[in-house]
Amino acid sequence: MATLDGLAASAGLGPLGSLGPMVVGVVLLLLVVKLLSMPFKLVWNGICGAALLWIVNFLGSFVGFTLKITVIKALIAGFFGIPGAVAVILFELFG
């Protein structure tokens, strides 16, 4: 048993040496979760941006402001979410 303890200690797997693999495992887990959550964030941004464009187009029709939604404007609002939709609206107002 002493030989196994000596071998584990020399391999860096002593009482504090087991912390390294645990840290690597946690970092890998966080990386996988971050990569898997990215598509959901893009979908959420797209929904929020499209909803804001639709609301502004709907409410703006009462005061004479219409927003022609093109593919480029939809992509900007979809990728950047609410800030992208605000940028598209400001560009239409002042551009």
pTM: 0.61
Q: Which pairs from 53-61 meet CB under 8 Å and 24+ separation?
A: 53/77, 53/85, 53/88, 53/89, 56/85, 56/89
Residue 14 DSSP code: S
DSSP-derived 3-state class of residue 18: coil
Q: Read off the pLDDT of residues 16-65 as tens digits, 9 standing for 90 and up.
A: 566 777 788 888 888 988 888 888 888 888 888 888 889 998 999 899 88
Contact between 67 and 91 (Cβ < 8 Å): no
Q: Read off the pLDDT of residues 38-51 as tens digits, 9 standing for 90 and up.
A: 888 888 888 888 88
Q: Which of 92, 63, 65, 94 is nearest to 76 (CA)?
A: 92
